[in-house]
Amino acid sequence: MNITSAQFVMSNSDIKKCPTDNKAEYAFIGRSNVGKSSLINMLTNHKGLAKISSKPGKTQLVNHFLINKEWYLVDLPGYGFAKVAKNTKQRFSKLIFSYIESRTTLINLFVLVDCRHEPQDKDTDFMEWLGVNGIPFSIVFTKADKLSKQKLSDNLKAYETELLNTWEEIPPYFVSSASTGQGKDEILNFIEETNKTLSQ
């Protein structure tokens, strides 16, 4: 897939105000500081589309971007270590789960994971909740350029081992780097192929 246009449409704290044109939505979520904004900007060839901040917790709303006038890329608030007030964290959680549970146009949720770290309970528990609730998702391992090939392979195997404690098979996953562009074609081709099946 070649992205020729990426247009910001709206930010919302109320799911009922999200777009109503029934276009397919592909949402991105991850723990704070996982590199979500950088990945979105890399995928869309737009350096400033998603706001990047050195402070975790920058994204506080559900942000819709119209891609190629055909489908929506949705930037969701992060979860985990954001340095925000407790009541704000609770609002994040309510907003996130409200979107995931209620959006019938959500085709796939990309769960971003920093490949430099061992499997984290916050991530695996979230994935388990998605599975129990029948939410289609894929994993995107970010910051692959920060590791040697051997260390990256070791960390991916550790994640696979952890996931197989709960799952019969590993959910689809991608390895990415916003700095080098790794994973871009694979992620966009996945979206393109999925969209094709929706139109059949």
Instruction: Please give the angle made by the CA atoms of 48, 54 and 57, to the nearest 5 degrees.
Output: 90
Domains of the chain: 6-199 (3.40.50.300)
C-alpha to C-alpha distance for 92 and 84, rounded to whole angstroms: 10
pLDDT of residue 13: 87
Give the pLDDT confidence of 31-68 residue by residue, as tens digits: 888 999 999 999 999 877 776 544 444 457 899 999 99
Give the pLDDT confidence of 104-128 residue by residue, as tens digits: 999 999 999 999 998 888 898 889 8
Q: Which residues are CB-neighbours of 116 under 8 A, at least 6 positions away?
A: 143, 146, 147, 155
Give the pLDDT confidence of 63-84 residue by residue, as tens digits: 999 999 999 999 998 765 444 4
C-alpha to C-alpha distance for 145 and 35, rounded to whole angstroms: 12
Give the pLDDT confidence of 129-172 residue by residue, as tens digits: 899 899 999 999 999 999 999 999 999 999 999 999 989 998 99
